[in-house]
Amino acid sequence: MGRPGWPPCLVPTFRFPPLADFPLLFFRTSSLRLSLLLLAGLLGLGLLRPRAGHAQILDDSTRNRYGARTTFILKERDLLQGDTVGRMVDSTLTRLPQQRYWTHDTTFQQTLGYFGAASRPLLWEANRQLGARLGRTVFDQYARGPEDVNYYDTKSPYTFFRFFQGNPYEQVFELGYARSLKKRFNVGFNYERFGANKAIAVSNTKTGQVEHNNFVFFARYQSLNNRYHAMGHFATARHTLAEQGGIRPLASDTLADGRIDLSLLFDYQREVVNLTNAKNRDSRDRVRLLHSYQLLGRGLTAYHLFNFSRQLNRYTDEQPAPSGVRNPFYPINRLSSAATDDRAEFRQFENTVGVMGQSQLVNYRLYGRYRTYSLETRSAYGAPPVVREALPTVDGPSQLFAGGTAAFQYRQFAIETAGEVKPSTEQLEYWLSGRARLGFLSGEVLLTSAAPTLTEQQFSGNHFAWNTDFKNVNVQQLRVRAARQLGRHFVEAVGTVANVSNYIYYSVDPISQTDQIHMDGPRQASGNADKFQISSLMGHYRGSVGHLFFETQATVTLGAGSDNPALRIPAVVGEARVYYQGYLFKKALFGQVGVQGYYQSRWKAYDYSPSTQQFFVQDHFTIRSVPVADVFLNADIKTVGVFLKMSYINQFLPQNGYFAAPYYAALPRRLQFGLRWQFFN
């Protein structure tokens, strides 16, 4: 375990400065001035508190009584499991320089090579979401989901700040504040802003590529007798990025036999891209309230969950058909050759009512959910814009769900069942799981049958249109896990076998020319590919010898290689880190210094269609094996954590770059640094 660390935070306007110019930009940027004023206001509130409040923070030795061990985080899943205590705030250093922990989804992702880009999970995971879903998820990892919202139990005001800078390509800013009012009521907010500058083709275009803003206001209450609990929040997220469509090879990049020399496509700023006027916008809003009341102690508690969410996706291109250039992302212009403006807005209301209970041996939860939703798809084009209804608004029928969990535990033996069912006159949807654990061994069986997403069922835009009639996607999965702590060493192995049928995927147009590959639309696996099997083995080791620490994790996957027409996963994905940690200056500073690496084997990575926000299977581009190494230095001084990292230090060994997706070059070598600061008074 590391020592206390800090929060990430900040993203200014699109143009990212050199490190030497950063202080000047910090005071010039209006949004950052607003953040400073907000922070100053919060500090001012602290100064206006009565002296009695200060007396509580200091003991007789004038040392802080409050800190990471007296500030607790609660999430929705804690309350649904009867946990009203939560866990201490994370103040460790180990994850601070790891970029996949800068956003809200920490799983391995295939991206388009830059921070804030569209992404998709890299490894296999079965879907457990039933009913109506929009199906546009490529920006999910940047929006804070309901499961990611923190509620607090603080004995004193708590302020969280983080700032990460990957000069000059990426930046993260986050500011959070929470405080308790009269011991039973806790309120706070969280604001984050991050963005990225272009690394490709920036010589004659605007340099800004990604801008994201996310605000959450949250509150938590518990009654004096501890029988009633409530937690709720309002969240809004806005994600905007300039789509480039990957690098467009030139005649000078072509060999004598007509093949493209990919090693010539890493001139970054001097490259030419396919899209220069395209933008994707993802806007999300959510209101959510979960509250519970103990009817018969912990044995019987009733709860209610209300949720309203809205997601608007908009794709625009001011020049979809430039003269003399065929665009591989636009096979046709259905509505207009002058401009593209495709929009889809999904709204959803949910009410969930249930009961739950806990004892020393047994806990359970039963619930029913009622959902209504609507989807409006439209296209606007022309000057001034003319709104054209591309599809009628879908006011879906009301959807009912029933589900629950039941668990029994006695000493080292535990068994748990869980599931959810959506009755239907057409196709029954469900997911059911059973898990058993005995000591360090556990096993889980999972059965799912889920309907296609709304986007897989219908789409209409300027360049694509489809209307499908797909069956449910079915999965039968077995997962076995063995984990053991042996002194200072932790060993874990997880094996998974999944049988998948009726899998839905996006594919390449079969009549596309080699130099004009474009997406065709969604398909459902059929014929010999109707059913296929995926097998994976994940190994994880963490340990130390003296002050030297090791951690490594690797996943081997079979059945999802280039011979699978529907699903692609690299055969090997892994990461490792080795670092030395210890104290300096009479234990005033705690530090770590080390190296970390990431590796994935060669595979036919998914291509990306910006106008539909979908990744699709392709066979024309193979990404070579990618080892990426970083060196880092972490330090912790009380409640302040900092890191300094050189990313992709092995650039030019053997090539001066690598691809994250077909013709999307990943970021080059760069210096990253970060600051995380936690205030507990």
Measured in degrees and rounded to the nearest 5, phi and psi for residue 44 equal: -65, -40
> Residue 51 has what pLDDT?
35
Residues 6+ apart with CB under 8 A from 184: 221, 222, 223, 224
Bridge partners (DSSP) listed for residue 344? 313, 377
Per-residue pLDDT of 448-506, as tens digits, reads 999 999 999 999 888 899 999 999 999 999 999 999 999 999 999 999 999 999 999 99
- Tokens linked to 290: 């979960």
- The answer to whether residue 48 scores a pLDDT higher than 60 is no
DSSP of 289-332: EEEEEESBTBT-EEEEEEEEEEEEEEEEES-SS-TT---TT-S-
Spell out the domain ranges in the chain: 19-679
Asked if the peptide bond before residue 7 counts as cis, ω within 30 degrees of 0, the response is no
pLDDT in tens, 371-382: 999 998 888 876
- The angle subtended at Cα 68 by Cα 645 and Cα 49, nearest 5°, is 115
559, two tokens: 């059945």
Fold of 19-679: Maltoporin; Chain A (2.40.170)
Taking only the tens place, the pLDDT of each residue in 405-439 is: 999 998 889 999 999 999 987 789 999 999 999 99
Strand, helix or coil for residue 562: coil
3-state secondary structure of 48: helix
Report how far residue 191's alpha carbon sits from residue 630's, in angstroms, rounded to the nearest whole number.
29
With 0-12 CB in 10 A as exposed, 13-18 as middle and 19+ as buried, what is 214? buried
Cβ–Cβ < 8 Å for 233, 218:
yes
Distance between CA atoms of 528 and 526, rounded to whole angstroms?
6
Q: What is the pLDDT of residue 60?
A: 36
Tell me, what's the pLDDT at 326? Answer: 64
Most distant CA pair in the chain, distance: 81
**What pLDDT score does 323 carry?**
52
| Residue 580 · residue 610 · CB < 8 Å | no
Quick: pLDDT tens for 544-590.
999 999 999 999 999 988 889 899 999 999 999 999 999 888 788 89
- Tell me the pLDDT band of 13, cut-offs 50, 70 and 90: very low
d(CA 22, CA 651): 26
Q: Whole-angstrom Cα distance, residue 47 to residue 35?
A: 18
For residue 371, list its beta bridge partners.
Answer: 350, 399
pTM for the model stands at 0.86
Instruction: Calculate the CA 273 to chain-centre distance.
Output: 26
Question: Would you say residue 217 has pLDDT above 80?
Answer: yes
According to the model, what pLDDT value does residue 206 have?
65
In this model, does residue 212 exceed pLDDT 90? Answer: yes
Element at 607 (helix H, strand E): strand 607-609
475, two tokens:
């999965």
Q: State both tokens at 477.
A: 């999965």
Instruction: Quote the mean pLDDT of the chain.
Output: 85
Query: What do you get for the CA distance between the two ends of the chain, in Å?
Result: 25
